[in-house]
Structures are given as C-alpha cells and as structure tokens.
Amino acid sequence: MEFIGLLAGLAGLWYGTEVTIRGAVAVAERFGISEFVVGIAILSIGSDLPELSIAVDAAIKNLRAGDVSDIVVGSALGSTLGQIGLVLGIAGLFGYLTMPRTVVVQQGIALLGSVILLALAALDGYVSRTEGITLVVFYAVYLLRVLSDAASVNEGGAGWWSTRLASAIAYLAVGLLLVIGSAELTVSSATRVAATLNVDQSVVAVIIIGIGTSLPELSISIGAVLRRRSELSLGNIIGSNVFDTLVPIGVAASITRLEFDVDMLRYELPFLFVLTFVVLTFLFRRSGIQKRHAIVIIAMYVAYATFRVGEAV
C-alpha cells in the first residue's frame, strides 16, 4: 500500500503540474512574454511546484512532530540532479542544445553560485531560518535580474481580460490544488516506504521523488527540442535547477530549522557542482550539447544513482 500511495502521489504531482503549466503558458502568451522568460521563469517555477509543495508540507510536519528534513533536502537535490542529468541528457539526444556564450556565463554563475551558497549554509549540519530566508532572497534577486534582462512586454494593454485568460487562471488554480494535495500523499508515503525498506529517507527522496518530480521538466524539454526551441528547453532546466537548489530548502528552513544530512554534503552537493560545471563546459562550446555530450551527461547521472543506491542497500 505504501508503494501505491507513493505512485499515486507522484502521479498527482505530475498531472497537477501539467495543468498548472498549461495555465501559466496561456497567461504568458496572452501578455506577450518572451520565450526565454517563459522557459526560465514561468515553466521552471510551474514545474517546480511539486518540490516546493513537498518542502512546505514536510516543514509543517517538522513543526508538529518528527523530523523529515531528509525528504525536503533530498527531494530538492534529487530533482536538480535529475533535471541537469537525466532531463537535459535525454533532451540532448533529440536535438542540439545551444545558447549564446554570454547567457551561458550569466546562468552558469547563478547555477554554480546557488550550489556554493547552499553548501555554505549547510556546512554546520543544518539550515537555519536566517539562512533559509537568505536562499530565497538570492533566488528573488536572480529572477528579477532575468525578468529585467529578457522580458519583452506586450504594449497592447487594451482589452487584456478575456475568456481565454479566465480559462488559463482556472487551470492555474485547479493545478495548484492538485499539487498541494498530492504533496501531502507523497511525503507521507515516502516516509513509510523508507521505513518498510529500511533505507535512509534521503536516498528515497533523492532517487524516487527526485526523478518522479522531474517528469514535467522532461516532457517540456523534449517537446521544446522537437519543436527546435532549445532555448525554451534550456531555460526550463536552468531555471528549475536554480529554483530547486534554493527555494524549497529556503522556504522550508524559513518555517523551521532543517537538518542537513552529512552524506548529502559529501555526495549530492559536490556531484551537483561537478555535473553542472561539465554541462556548462559543453554549452560554452559553439556547437553546444550534441548527442555524444548528452550520453556523457546521462552516464554520469546513472553512475551517481547506482553508487548511491549501492551505498544504501
């Protein structure tokens, strides 16, 4: 029953996120927001609602009784690794992924900087409320910079309200309700699965929840690449990784102090930094990420996942 509950929770998260994204994209198109902003802000935030909902739900559980900090941190880091490893790698098998070098440098600073910032916050074995707020503020500054640099505002403001916009907002509301309800089921089920298998909660969160909550990014990224819109795909993945590294953990820590497993400091964060650096190196090349590079990225992720599962068994 625990596995069925976990699968049902992940399915609800995935479907709820898909509904939310559909509404978000419709709103973005209605106001003429640029493609880059749709990928890095609208789609990435929309597809990361599961991680944020899980973090908030688990943090509230921490306040009441017990400690599920590993679920919060593990699902966030597992999602970042799944996105930049599996999602980006698989998307690279379907087409070339390229970005201007200036954008690679700018986003690379944000990606690597967010990992370093989280590592500094967690060095003492926990993330305090002050540190959590700092993580969220860092992301807010990053998002505002992206919006100010890349947004293209539609000046045709007349008659902005329409039936189509009302429908898009309804999709957003329904999707959010699905995500929030599914987050409760996922956190509870993952905790029971970890106890049943006698496996650390962190491993369950990093591998199972991490991959499961990356499915929306996978569908979005492959769809974008097949339509020859690599910047939309990359924007979604990059925005999602910066968000997942900072916001779920930051918001949860703002509610209650989060314990940070020493194994995540030893394995997940260093590997995330190395994998991100490798991806950025490939993107910095004029040819971008091609199939051979995508295979390397996927192989690195599979090797990491195999090692972590082996450690836990």
Which residues are bridge partners to 127 per DSSP? Answer: 258
Q: Which of the two residues, 75 and 116, has the higher pLDDT score?
A: 116
Tokens read off for 17: 């996120």
Residue 296 pLDDT: 96
Residue 203 pLDDT: 64
CATH code given to domain 35-155+200-312: 1.20.1420.30
Residue 258 pLDDT: 87
Burial class (CB in 10 A: 0-12, 13-18, 19+), 260: buried
Residue corresponding to tokens 């990928």: 39
Give the model's confidence band at 50: pLDDT under 50 very low, under 70 low, under 90 confident, else very high.
confident
Residue 88 pLDDT: 92
Q: How far apart are CA 291 and CA 296, in angstroms?
A: 9
How do residues 172-210 score in pLDDT, each as one tens digit?
678 767 766 776 676 667 667 666 766 665 666 666 666
Task: For residue 128, give the DSSP letter.
Answer: -
Range with the poorest average pLDDT among 14-23, 57-66, 114-123, 210-219: 210-219
Give the model's confidence band at 1: pLDDT under 50 very low, under 70 low, under 90 confident, else very high.
low
Task: For residue 286, give the DSSP letter.
Answer: T
For range 85-105, the mean pLDDT: 89
Residue 165 pLDDT: 66
Which residues are bridge partners to 81 per DSSP? Answer: none
Whether pLDDT at 272 is above 50:
yes
For range 103-107, the mean pLDDT: 91
- What average pLDDT does the structure give for the chain? 79
Please give the backbone phi and psi of residue 289, each rounded to the nearest 5 degrees, phi first: -90, 115
Residue 158 pLDDT: 44
In this structure, the strands spanning 126-127 and 258-259 are antiparallel
Residue 156 pLDDT: 47
How do residues 115-174 score in pLDDT, each as one tens digit?
999 999 999 989 999 999 999 999 999 998 887 765 554 444 445 555 666 777 787 678
